[in-house]
Amino acid sequence: MTISPYIRERKLTGVVLRLRNSDERILDIAVYYYGFNSQSQFTTLFKNILATRLRRPLFPQ
């Protein structure tokens, strides 16, 4: 994995963890805290990663 996909996955992981532990909106977390350009950019990335990772957990216990 190159650096760019790694950084995107780390940002996505941070957003999802923060969503699980707060009442903040997705847009606020994705854009203001993790630097995504828009909610649609976050959603597209989330869907792409989720589609490729359905066979393994995003957050192993």
| Sign of CA pseudo-dihedral 8, 48, 40, 15 | negative
Q: What is the mean pLDDT of residues 11-19?
A: 86
The model's confidence at residue 19, banded by pLDDT at 50, 70 and 90, is confident
34-59: average pLDDT: 76
Share of the chain above pLDDT 90, in %: 2
* pLDDT over 60 (residue 58): no
61 pLDDT higher than 70: no
CA–CA dist 14, 19 (Å, integer):
9
Q: What is the pLDDT of residue 12?
A: 84
Residue 24, classed as helix, strand or coil, is: coil
